[in-house]
């Protein structure tokens, strides 16, 4: 039941995310706060999602050197690659990349004396304490374009999960899979604009409240 409650919260957050298909003139790409990434050409005629070139990941300000661009290589038939999908609640990382990221996250938590515990459906959870919350780090996705970096804040990198035996836990809100899908929780407070004419994806930090102001 605790996991179901967490996912319901994610679904609510998804409603606040704005993903638009609008002309490039409205993308405000000239703003210094807007990052641009290229939308990759389709490999198959039936592709319905837009792929971007993910090349690296950082934990806080430190680039994870064991992460290699080929971990996100795209193949025909919908295999591999990286998409940004508000319909996926939590981010899925390609398995090889996930192992590297989880190891780095746990290594940092362990240095800060976190207690690792088990929660069904999550690969990494620690006992929730005020001290551990203060030490949570951010994570950044680096795209092929040098300045294109999507920063995930600590509160979107971990999710709180209740438990009867060990009390509340903080769980790493990503899972391993066959390809990388940047999900809804890791998109919160970010506006994405798809410019299909010029094959560009622009994104920038923007509070969700700006889209919900005045709504009863």
Stretch 113-135: mean pLDDT: 94
pLDDT value at position 167?
83
Closest to 97 measured CA to CA, from 126, 138, 62, 54: 54
* Other residues' Cβ atoms within 10 Å of the Cβ of residue 72: 25
Four-point Cα dihedral 100, 125, 207, 210, nearest 10: 130
CATH number of this structure's domain 2-205, picked from the four choices 1.20.200.10, 1.10.620.20, 2.40.70.10, 2.30.250.10: 2.40.70.10
pLDDT tens-digit series, residues 126-139:
999 999 999 999 99
pLDDT value at position 207?
83
What's the first-to-final CA gap in the chain, in angstroms? 29
pLDDT tens-digit series, residues 58-74:
999 899 999 999 999 99
CB proximity list for 16: less than 8 A, separation 6 or greater: 188, 208, 211, 212
Calculate what percentage of the chain has a pLDDT beyond 70.
81
pLDDT at 33 over 80: no
Q: DSSP state, 50?
A: -
Q: What is the pTM of this model?
A: 0.80
pLDDT value at position 210?
55
Stretch 118-131: mean pLDDT: 94
Q: DSSP state, 156?
A: H
Closest to 139 measured CA to CA, from 88, 90, 179, 207: 90
Q: How confident is the model at residue 211 (pLDDT cuts 50, 70, 90)?
A: low
pLDDT value at position 215?
36
Stretch 167-184: mean pLDDT: 95
For the chain, domain boundaries = 2-205
Cβ burial 166-181 (10 Å sphere, 16+ → b, else e): eeebbbbbbbeeebbb
Mean pLDDT of the chain: 83
What are φ and ψ of residue 192, in 5° steps? Answer: -115, 135
């Amino acid at each position: 039941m605790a996991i179901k409650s967490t996912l319901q919260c994610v679904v609510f957050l998804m409603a606040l995310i704005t993903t638009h298909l609008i002309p490039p003139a409205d993308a405000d790409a000239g703003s210094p706060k807007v990052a641009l990434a290229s939308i990759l050409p389709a490999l198959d005629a039936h592709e319905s999602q837009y792929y971007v070139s993910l090349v690296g990941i950082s934990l806080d300000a430190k680039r994870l050197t064991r992460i290699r661009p080929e971990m996100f290589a795209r193949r025909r038939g919908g295999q591999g690659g990286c998409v940004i999908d508000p319909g996926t609640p939590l981010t899925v990382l390609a398995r090889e990349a996930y192992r590297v990221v989880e190891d780095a996250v746990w290594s940092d938590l362990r240095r800060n004396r976190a207690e690792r515990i088990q929660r069904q459906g999550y690969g990494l959870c620690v006992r929730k304490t005020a001290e551990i919350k203060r030490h949570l780090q951010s994570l950044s996705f680096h795209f092929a374009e040098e300045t294109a970096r999507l920063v995930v804040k600590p509160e979107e990198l971990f999710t709180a999960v209740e438990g009867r035996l060990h009390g509340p836990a903080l769980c790493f809100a990503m899972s391993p899979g066959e390809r990388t899908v940047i999900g809804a929780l890791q998109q919160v407070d970010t506006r994405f604009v798809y410019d299909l004419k010029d094959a560009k994806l622009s994104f920038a930090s923007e509070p969700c409240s700006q889209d919900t102001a005045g709504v009863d």
